Structure 1
């Protein structure tokens, strides 16, 4: 939705308000910038992939970046890392409807 004076901006996450941990704020801030950026560590990529997969979404570019980083830090062949990661993500994504239904029965209070 656009405001009269231009596009509406999403709210900023702030750890200072006491509602969000620094890790959550950092992951939320990084998520839109992950693909195509150098120097992003494996932890940030795992958080971003997990955030998509538990909802049943597979993001090829993001997963490819994670495969590259995992192959780099483990010394394994890229194809081997891809096969293992793909199997794991398939199993997680397959349960997405059950996870989302569970979450819907436990709404977060603001």
Structure 2
């Protein structure tokens, strides 16, 4: 077998191994995303008190903060969160208060 042929096979084997290893490591390293202390505190304050799973709760909390930082008043944030997630205004207020206590403690409004 010639040196060129061996090098070609070695290169092909190396590329194949790299692709297979990369495909198996990529998703495992990317998921699950670890929760921060703030995430855990927020979830503890909102689980069972607002409709949806943890991902939806975290999204609603961060959305509430973005709305506050964009200058929307608290009542508008509550109304918007309630409408978007089919929640009662009281449930949306729980999300807003929990977000203020964990994610956006310096938010205006």
Q: Same fold (TM over 0.5)?
A: no
More helix by share: 2
Which has the larger Rg?
2
TM-score (norm 1): 0.32
TM-score (norm 2): 0.32
Comparing both chains, which one has the higher relative contact order based on Cα–Cα distances under 8 Å and sequence gaps of 6 or more?
2
